[in-house]
């Protein structure tokens, strides 16, 4: 079953900067997909559309068959709760205890009163403990977050997403701020969790080696376009050279969505 379907999706920011252009993509439920490409390629913008933070400027984005353009208010908030995002920066509150940071993943489902009460006396501690157990640091549940190592804080961020109970996890450069020796462990942890819980996983990665080593599907993004969408053994050194070189290869069938877009400057 298709989780995401993108049809000629384009995102244009003020001053006519195009981040994503004419992108066609399908992701099926339960898939684990890595996205790679140079900085500024549009990967983070794409993720912000996939988690419904941004809307496309043109084209169609469907999630579970629903046209995102038609979602507003309560229905849009419900869709956003089904998608969990792990960011490059952990976005944790350092002085709070781990349990509070983990349970902040429930804020979108709690009332303001419930949220305030939980700050004084944590609500659903068992839920937080179970999420921390899955990431291997349940013993840190009542520790101050700023006392943890970078790798442990990233695990707290993962646990926070787990208590949200999303159908999809988007991980935007989740290992860029941790020691390289821990990067493989965190990626494997996310893959194992998503496999056991039957969740769809999309991950932006700077490291080509990690993407090729751990994912069965790798998408190369360059200047807002898909350069390739292949399994690792089909990705040649030549394709990677094209992806990270300053030259944009010819896209024989690629067209801007309208005449005006042809005059825009690519970001």
| Strand duo 58-63 + 66-67: pairing | antiparallel
Tens of pLDDT, residue by residue, the chain (267 residues)? 899 999 999 999 988 889 999 999 999 999 999 999 999 999 999 999 999 999 999 999 999 999 999 999 999 999 999 999 998 888 899 999 999 999 988 876 655 556 556 555 677 899 999 999 999 999 999 999 999 998 999 999 999 999 999 999 999 999 887 787 789 999 999 999 999 999 999 999 999 999 999 999 999 999 999 999 999 999 999 999 999 997 554 443 333 334 333 333 333
In angstroms, the CA 178 to CA 166 distance is 24
Of 52, 51, 45, whose CA–CA distance to 23 is shortest?
45
To 10 degrees, the CA torsion angle through 25, 29, 33, 39? Answer: 50
Spans of all domains in the chain: 1-78+215-267, 90-164
pLDDT of residue 22: 95
pTM to 2 decimals? 0.86
pLDDT of residue 177: 76
Q: Indicate if the alpha-carbon torsion angle 266, 16, 174, 33 is positive or negative.
A: negative
Grouping H, G, I as helix, E, B as strand and the rest as coil, residue 238 is helix
Residue 161 contacts residue 103 (beta carbons within 8 Å): no
Residues paired with 61 in a beta bridge: 6
pLDDT of residue 87: 87
Residues paired with 35 in a beta bridge: 204, 219
Of 167, 154, 100, 107, whose CA–CA distance to 128 is shortest?
100
Q: Classify domain 1-78+215-267 at the CATH topology level.
A: Rossmann fold (3.40.50)
Residue 80 contacts residue 52 (beta carbons within 8 Å): yes
Residues paired with 265 in a beta bridge: 17
Q: Indicate if the alpha-carbon torsion angle 39, 190, 183, 160 is positive or negative.
A: positive
Residue 158 contacts residue 135 (beta carbons within 8 Å): yes
């Amino acid at each position: 079953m298709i989780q995401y379907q993108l049809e000629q999706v384009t995102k244009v920011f003020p001053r006519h900067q195009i981040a994503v252009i004419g992108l066609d993509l399908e992701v099926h439920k339960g898939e684990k997909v890595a996205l790679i490409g140079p900085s500024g390629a549009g990967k983070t913008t794409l993720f912000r559309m996939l988690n419904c933070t941004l809307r496309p400027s043109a084209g169609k984005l469907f999630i579970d068959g629903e046209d995102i353009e038609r979602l507003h208010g309560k229905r849009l908030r419900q869709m956003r709760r089904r998608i969990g995002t792990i960011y490059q920066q952990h976005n944790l509150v350092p002085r709070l205890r781990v349990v509070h940071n983990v349970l902040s993943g429930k804020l979108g489902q709690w009332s303001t009163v419930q949220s305030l009460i939980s700050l004084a006396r944590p609500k659903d501690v068992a839920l937080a403990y179970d999420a921390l157990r899955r990431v291997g640091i349940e013993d840190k549940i009542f520790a101050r977050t700023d006392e943890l190592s970078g790798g442990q804080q990233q695990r707290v961020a993962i646990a926070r997403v787990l208590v949200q109970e999303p159908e999809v996890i988007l991980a935007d450069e989740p290992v860029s701020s941790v020691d390289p020796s821990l990067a493989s462990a965190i990626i494997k942890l996310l893959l194992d969790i998503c496999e056991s819980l039957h969740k769809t996983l999309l991950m932006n990665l700077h490291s080509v080696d990690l993407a090729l080593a751990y994912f069965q599907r790798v998408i190369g993004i360059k200047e807002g376009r898909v350069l390739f969408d292949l399994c690792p053994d089909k990705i040649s050194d030549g394709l990677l050279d094209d992806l990270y070189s300053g030259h944009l290869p010819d896209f024989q069938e690629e067209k801007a969505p309208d005449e005006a877009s042809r005059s825009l400057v690519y970001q």
